[in-house]
Amino acid sequence: MSRSRGRDRDQEMGAPSFDLESWIPRTEVGQMVKDGTITSIYDIFRDSFKIDDVAIVDLLVPNLTETVLDVGRVQRQTDAGRKTLFIATAGVGNKNGIVGVAQAKAAGVGTAIRNAIILSKLNIIPVKRGCGSWECTCSNPHSIPFEVEGKVGSVKVILKPAPKGLGLVIGDVAKSVLELAGVSDIWSNTFGDTRTTQNFCKATFEALRATYSISHSSEWGE
């Protein structure tokens, strides 16, 4: 049961308002955020802190767009009979260099979607954007600075810098992930069964993660 693009698949939901005064941090990193020791999500990325409290993301990145990428149904046999679960894949992003993708299972569609969005927030990463195409010299962060790839299961995604105005030359599901990250122009090659939406989403996400790999990362910034 997959959701069609243009209706439910790209549904955008407004983030709830965050009340700093009533927030009780559950982790040391959360306490540092509330105390003002950490004031930027990039401080967390730079120091490799783990985000275990979704409130940290709600506070430091309040303008996240939440999008349902796919909803499917799975069944498993138990002693009590056949049990049906829904599996939702969701993405979040500020369309300015931060994106997260995750999936979750639950007995109800709504619960699966909510859990996937929460996990996506806990799984956010920075994306290094730029203009690495030899066909374009605008120096604006509309694409990526170099070629990267991500692989999940049988699906491999290669992302390549593209000139400004080209658009996203890739499948619809990957387009949604790239748009959440703030990437508007991409060449791509895909391999494997890209009809497996969950793996296609995650492979695209892993390719974006590689933009800040150890070998290429030399600076951080918003």
Phi and psi at residue 54, to the nearest 5°: -65, -20
Question: What pLDDT, on a 0 to 100 scale, did the predictor assign at position 222?
Answer: 46
Taking only the tens place, the pLDDT of each residue in 167-213 is 999 999 999 999 999 999 999 999 998 888 889 999 999 999 999 87
Residue spans of the chain under pLDDT 70 = 1-19, 214-222
- Specify the pTM: 0.84
Phi and psi at residue 134, to the nearest 5°: -70, -15
Question: What pLDDT, on a 0 to 100 scale, did the predictor assign at position 158?
Answer: 97
Question: What pLDDT, on a 0 to 100 scale, did the predictor assign at position 78?
Answer: 72
Look up residue 219 and give its two tokens.
């600076």
Contacts (Cβ under 8 Å, ≥6 apart) of 10:
67, 68, 176
Contacts (Cβ under 8 Å, ≥6 apart) of 75:
82, 83, 84, 85
Look up residue 68 and give its two tokens.
């349902």
Question: What pLDDT, on a 0 to 100 scale, did the predictor assign at position 17?
Answer: 58
Per DSSP, what are the bridge partners of residue 155? 152
Contact of 210 with 148, CB cutoff 8 Å? yes
Q: Which helix (H) or strand (E) holds 152?
A: strand 148-152
Question: What pLDDT, on a 0 to 100 scale, did the predictor assign at position 18?
Answer: 61
Q: Over the Cα atoms of the chain, what is R_g?
A: 18
Contact of 165 with 158, CB cutoff 8 Å? no
Contacts (Cβ under 8 Å, ≥6 apart) of 52:
26, 27, 29, 30, 122
- Amino acid identity for residue 44 in this structure: I
Contact of 100 with 89, CB cutoff 8 Å? no
Angle at 18 between CA 13 and CA 23, to 5 degrees: 140
